[in-house]
Structure 1
């Protein structure tokens, strides 16, 4: 699809390369909101948050649930480095609801425990949104 209207997108985890494709549009969950990428976007390096990574590759599309990391856009190449990238087909509402119940039940006795609980709740809610958006 390298037709002059695409950017190249690579998604990498510690386990290896998850995706390597040309895309017409990519949306990533940055730590402070969603960022969209088209061809010829200005260079950018950003911290990722938790949420849905959407990649439009012509007739095909790819969706992943990602959990933090970094993204770099340079010379029409977007590289996404994340600790995990789970295919959208594997994210179910029942699993997300169970994760949310577990997260809400976590103790919050000190600042570290509260931060861990808040992160788990945010992760579970992002998974629920992704499962509902199918």
Structure 2
């Protein structure tokens, strides 16, 4: 039996396929999901979703969101999902530099800057 993986963004369903194993970039580290894993809901970080089928691995950069695991189905809701091979390292480095130069004069601006830095660093790691 395989695991069904759904990756949904606000625009469309990016992925709907069966895989053998999934690695999720949770906000506090990676999580591997195999067959018959216990049900859970978790918050995603910024990074790579790895879909393994046989000897082949397909990777997507996800921009945070949530993942639900239930009855051999992994549902990923994210703001953006991009195949890793479509990421540009130079764009990710530029986004990181812009995020680091954002003002942090008050709590709200500091929070926005920290989120932008996490997003850019996740994209940069995925682009390598």
Same fold at TM > 0.5: yes
Residue 71 of structure 2 corresponds to: 75
Structure-2 separation of matches of 1:60 and 1:81:
23
How far 1:59 moved relative to its partner? 4.2
Structure-1 separation of matches of 2:32 and 2:58:
15
Residue 105 of structure 2 corresponds to: 109
Structure 2, gaps ≥5 residues long: none
Aligned-pair Cα RMSD in Å: 1.1
How far 1:36 moved relative to its partner? 0.6
Counterpart of 2:88 (choices 89, 92, 98) is 92
- For this pair of structures, how many residues does the alignment match? 128
Residue 46 of structure 1 corresponds to: 42
SS of equivalent to 1:56: strand
Residue 13 of structure 1 corresponds to: 9
- TM-score, length basis structure 1: 0.90
SS of equivalent to 1:41: coil
How far 1:24 moved relative to its partner? 0.8
Structure 1, gaps ≥5 residues long: none
Residue 120 of structure 2 corresponds to: 124
